[in-house]
Structure 1
């Protein structure tokens, strides 16, 4: 997370090299010398030197097999010498080297702090790892459901965790490239974990399922994910083969097709019906005003049926983001400069910040 930890790596690497080399003792000539600042020991003085020569002493300290009791004292002196030089050149280890730019994280969420989201990110990663471990071990002897259904459910759980992880990453200020990586992982889990037939969904997506599909389509379009990968997502959208103007608008955008004209909308997608006028408005200024109003005044109210609504006062909050709004800004070519500090609007996703 922090670039300056490379300095610590620089120090630890030297320690480990010395520790692992105990079996390879120093020559009699060098071992008999006391280590001083004038003995030309070529310890790396900069990060750049470290990259070129990780040991920093390949020329000055030739190692070979042998038995030299002086080794322990000698290596202790090397470690002390190296530590002193690090502190002299860079200051105490708590401070980064002045030539390395520290990563700047700008919080995007206003409800929680950095520590909260970092803890959530840690928990989601741990949860995904545990699910993966179950699949790797492959011990299904105690599983009561059919194995293929059990595997599907594990993947579905990883998908939900990955999507929530993505929200946390965006909320805390993670880079867009990191968010894109998480998205691609979520897409893989979704493909393996999504229900297989319309009947499995009782004919319609429930509120949260609809939001999941909408968010994944929106994010894929915003992040410029390869169309080949997004074709997999479009197939998942049509597991429930009901027309829906918003989902189909995004599918068509991904496939470079025209915006559908129908107003068909799924049973649990009707809270997004106000977006229809925005999509079909010919006047961009009017569309911008309507979308601004939607994000500022309508979006949060319309999502009250979602399971994540109202969680900002709890420990299960990941962020409130209207991904579909950013997708429509991109699709319609709207000017979102006035949206930059608008609550719920993921401005940085579109602008690569």
Structure 2
């Protein structure tokens, strides 16, 4: 499937397919999709007309985020998970070119790492994420960045034993992620299940200072509230999330799209 060839409104079957989001309707997301694709087109034209060495890193970082917005919108609409991987890889290449150690954006990086894991990108592409975070740990200004346990827990889950990084010994944002990181330390299945459900129940309000908080109350801003990082931890830990299938914040399909016998990708 070519990039942007998401066919939601072009057929009766597409119109009848249920969307994943529980807050807005199909028309809302299709309008946002059209707008996001136009922004990406304009920014790609800027890049194509300039020399890569002369292009400000911001434009690459910005377009990488536009692609991530596209993933969130199309996931909310109900696109098949496997069709999101191409968009993610295109986004990743722009993201790498936009590396900026002076202004690291932790939450953007966490979302990208979590999505890379959930989409099961290639080892080569995942290693690019590992290298990115390692560079940030080494080069970012101390006041702007803290080597983070949560990031490295997700990254280490895909690395060989001799490749794992262990020097991150604290959370960059403990108030927000202490409960989530606690999941990684629980061995009892029922206790982990309860802790996951408790955390996702608090997730939205824990993020009350996030720029996307209450976006559903604004015009043309809401793309979906999806807890990618929570889903990544649940998948790594193989936690029973069956009771969260209809949770408005938990991207259940993203966790289970490769499961044998699943219906999420049919």
TM range (shorter): 0.7 to 0.9
Matched residues in 2 for 1:264 and 1:225: separation? 27
Give the superposed CA RMSD.
2.3
Structure 2: state its 5+ residue gaps: 1-6, 138-145, 258-263
The Cα of 1:243 is off from its aligned counterpart by 2.6
Match of 1:127 in 2: 39
Distance in structure 2 (CA, Å) of the matches to 1:116 and 1:3: 12
- In 1, the alpha carbon distance for the partners of 2:73 and 2:9 equals 21
Q: Partner residue of 1:179?
A: 84
Q: Is the 8 A contact 1:210 1:269 kept in 2?
A: no
| Segments ≥4 residues shifted beyond 2 Å | 2-5, 102-105, 147-151, 256-263
Which residue does 2:140 correspond to in 1?
Answer: none
2:4 paired residue number: none
What TM-score do the two structures reach when normalised by structure 2?
Answer: 0.83
User: What is the TM-score with the length of structure 1 in the denominator?
Assistant: 0.63
CA 1:276–1:3: 2 relative to 1, 3 Å: closer
Relative to structure 2, which stretch is displaced further, 236-245 or 170-179? 236-245
Query: Structure 1: any 5+ residue segments left out of the alignment?
Result: 6-95, 97-101, 141-146
**What corresponds to 1:225 in structure 2?**
121
Cα distance, 1:4–1:131 mapped onto 2, change above 3 Å: closer
Q: Which residue is equivalent to 1:292?
A: 197
Aligned match of 1:255: 159
Summarize the alignment of residues 75-90 of structure 1 with structure 2, pairs less than 5 Å apart. none
Change (3 A) 1:3 1:120: closer
- Confirm or deny: 8 A CA contact 2:152 2:168 kept in the other structure: no
Do the aligned partners of residues 249 and 109 (structure 1) sit closer, same or farther apart at CA in structure 2, a change above 3 Å counting?
same
Give the stretch that moved more between structures: 177-186 or 339-348: 177-186
**Would the alpha carbon gap of residues 309 and 4 (structure 1) be closer, same or farther in structure 2, given more than 3 Å must change?**
closer
Q: 1:238: Cα distance to partner?
A: 2.5
Q: Which residue of structure 1 lines up, in the alignment, with residue 63 of structure 2? A: 158
Q: Is the 8 A contact 1:253 1:259 kept in 2?
A: no
Kindly indicate whether structure 1 or structure 2 has the higher relative contact order, using CA contacts under 8 Å at least 6 residues apart: 2
Distance 1:293 1:348 in 2: 20
1:239 aligns with 2:143: no
Offset, 1:259: 9.2
- 1:213 and 1:263 map into 2 onto residues whose CA distance is 18
Tell me the alpha carbon deviations over residues 202-259 of structure 1, each in whole angstroms, 9 at most, x when there is no partner: xxx4xxx211111111111111100111111122222331431100101101214479
1:117 maps onto 2:22 in alignment = no
C-alpha distance in 1 between matches for 2:70 and 2:174: 24
Query: 1:126 deviation in Å?
Result: 0.8
Rounded Cα–Cα distance in structure 1 between residues aligned with 2:166 and 2:18: 38
Q: C-alpha offsets along residues 297-346 of structure 1, whole Å, 9 cap, x if unaligned?
A: x1111112211111111121111010111111211111111110112000
Q: 1:334 to 1:156 in 2, by over 3 A?
A: same
Instruction: Figure out how many residues of one structure are paired with residues of the other and give that number.
Output: 240
Shift of the 336–135 alpha-carbon distance from structure 1 to 2, 3 Å rule, reads same
